[in-house]
Structure 1
Amino acid sequence: MSLIPSIDTLLGGGLRQGQLMEITGQSSSGKTQVCLCSAAHVAASHLGVVVYLDSSNSFSPRHIARMIDEFPISLDNEPKHVRLNKVMSSIICESIFDIFNLFEVLHQVELSLKKKVNNGSSKICLLIIDSISSLLAPIISGKYPQGRSMMLSLAMILKKLADEHNLAVLVTNHMVAGNGAPKPALGESWKTVPHVRLVFSRDRGSNICTATVLKHTLLASGRNCMKFAVPS
């Protein structure tokens, strides 16, 4: 599944079904824009249904509309509003307010996936959580003694969904201050969870970003970088 062409090239194929990918980076580094672009591309290509779980009020139909106008995908020369309606009907956006809400929605996603297997209708193929760190950070900061175990339970659920239902999972994670340089939030326990981790950085005063591989099942970490323009 495509993210954007330059990142697809970097990864040798973009999002892979059955895997969990994390995009981390500081604010305005392009994380959400790439999530929106990926959702739009999957929906416009008729690959299946996208579930977009939005914890930061970042989902934007206006941006989706602008993106699909620029995609090199033939949609039978339909009027723009018809094309947009078809794309948006394949993207299910849910606002998520806390970790408990997230667990509840993921349970419904699992039930839906099992139902689609039985009746053969359009199946969820991409799950996006933007951002997962804004939901997990409050519970691992000391307020909830069971916070870390809840984080690991969430990790198990996401990887189980990806593996058992051949689902691509894409999550975003913010950066926190570290010794000398910012680092991905959620700590050491979380960094082993994603199959693929990318870190985004953005050139000051421009829309040009850099994607660097932090972790990949096939690529060397840290040495694979790609410049790309943030989709408008």
Structure 2
Amino acid sequence: MAPLKNLEREFPIIDSNFQNFCASHGIFSVEDFLVHDLYTLAAYAEQNIASERLKEGITQVLSILDDMHQPWLNGMELLEDAKRNKHFLQTGIQGIDMLLGGGIRVGQLTELVGPSSSGKTQVCLKTASNVARNHLSTVVYLDTGNSFSPQRIAYFLGKTNELASAQGNNAILQKVMSNILCHSVFDIFEMFDVLHKLEYRLRSQDRGVDTRLLIIDSISLLITPVLGSTSSQGRALMVSAGYLLKKLADQHNLAVLVTNHTVGGEGGTFKPALGENWKSIPHTRLLLYCDRTSNACNVTILKHSSMASGKAARFVI
């Protein structure tokens, strides 16, 4: 899914006149069509002097939405795809990698859930440094709360290469840092813009090295402001974001790692934020909790496509 202006080159019917018509009704992207009353939009188009062309544009956008649905695949095709493309990326954290049977899975969306100071960002930074160093892959890191720390990545690399020379460490540090592309993103629409540009880049294959990891720390900071008790548009934007992330993961063999905070639940317990509509989106959900007195962290599987919930591990970053 993309901003309408990005579609004009491939679909001339979505020209500036069509874009201006849509913008006058608060529609700027394909996502906006998902939450708009299309019957009302078509009625407004009828009143326009260019009604036929506008209706053609509406039909074209609906066709684009239809094309987004994946074709049916049989079980053998899915198995072959999993063997060929859906590998693991090691986080570099032994407890997590062993718990998950190798690391976070390429082609899937993994979510880290935890309260403040539970270690979510540290896991993201450690994973980014490990993938950028050992897989020679580009990591796209969306920082939503000014928590990205290059100093922390340098610390992780220093521990990994503590026996290497200072010159060698500096070369590794430069290589790793150049492989991590960090974007500061502060609202969900900025996130959509970055993700659409990433999707275009991946589709065009115009890149020097493969992108294998996308991190959003934190997804809940972007989605929570658009949610409301009666906001169907906010929920639709959330589901659209989840759909786009899973699409990027599956079609371009990315591992997508996002973080989510916790909120109070019944009986004083805590539960992942973003509610039931988001709950079904991640393939894997991990609950993090850190003991500040010992710096040890616990990770528990809340949801996994092939493992039982409740399995846990302990680690220190």
TM-score range, shorter chain: over 0.9
Q: Is the 8 A contact 1:21 1:194 kept in 2?
A: yes
**Counterpart-to-counterpart distance in 2, 1:49 and 1:15:** 16
Question: Would you say the 8 A contact 1:196–1:214 is kept in 2?
Answer: yes
Mapped pair 1:133 → 2:199: no
Match of 1:9 among 98, 115, 121: 98
| CA distance in structure 2 between the aligned counterparts of 1:221 and 1:46, rounded to whole angstroms | 29
Once residues 285 and 242 of structure 2 are traced to their aligned partners in structure 1, the CA distance between those partners, rounded to angstroms, is 14
2:143 is the counterpart of 1:26: no
Ranges in structure 1 where 5+ consecutive residues have no aligned partner:
none
Q: Greater relative contact order (Cα 8 A, min sep 6): structure 1 or 2?
A: 1
TM-score when scaled to structure 1?
0.92
Letter in 2 for 1:130: D
Pick closer, same or farther for the CA change 1:204–1:70 going to 2, 3 Å.
closer
Aligned match of 1:182: 270
Match 2:258 to one of 161, 166, 171: 171
Looking at secondary structure, tell me which structure has more helix per residue.
2
What one-letter code is carried by the residue in structure 2 that aligns with 1:215?
K
* C-alpha distance in structure 1 between counterparts of 2:200 and 2:164, whole Å: 31
Q: Does structure 1 conserve the Cα–Cα contact (< 8 Å) formed by 2:264 and 2:271?
A: yes
Instruction: Give yes or no for contact 1:17–1:166 (8 Å, CA) kept in 2.
Output: yes
TM-superposed CA distance for 1:9, in Å, is 0.2
Q: What SS does structure 2 have at the residue aligned with 1:146?
A: helix
Q: Which residue of 1 aligns with 2:132?
A: 43
* Structure with the greater alpha carbon radius of gyration: 2
Distance 2:123 2:150 in 1: 14
Match of 2:266, SS state, is coil
Structure 1 pair 78–218 and aligned structure 2 pair: CA distance change class (3 A)? farther
2:304 is the counterpart of 1:216:
yes
- CA deviations over 1:154-182 (Å, ceiling 9, x no partner): 01100000000011000000000111201
1:96 corresponds to: 185
Pair 76,47 (structure 1): closer, same or farther in 2 beyond 3 Å = farther
Larger relative strand fraction: 1
C-alpha distance in 2 between matches for 1:208 and 1:141: 36
Residue 149 (structure 1) aligned with residue 243 (structure 2): no
Measure, in 1, the Cα distance between the counterparts of 2:230 and 2:143: 23
Percentage of identical aligned residues: 52
Gaps of 5+ in 2: 1-88
Aligned-pair distance for 1:47? 3.4
Distance 1:78 1:114 in 2: 37
RMSD: 1.9
SS in 1 for 2:118: coil
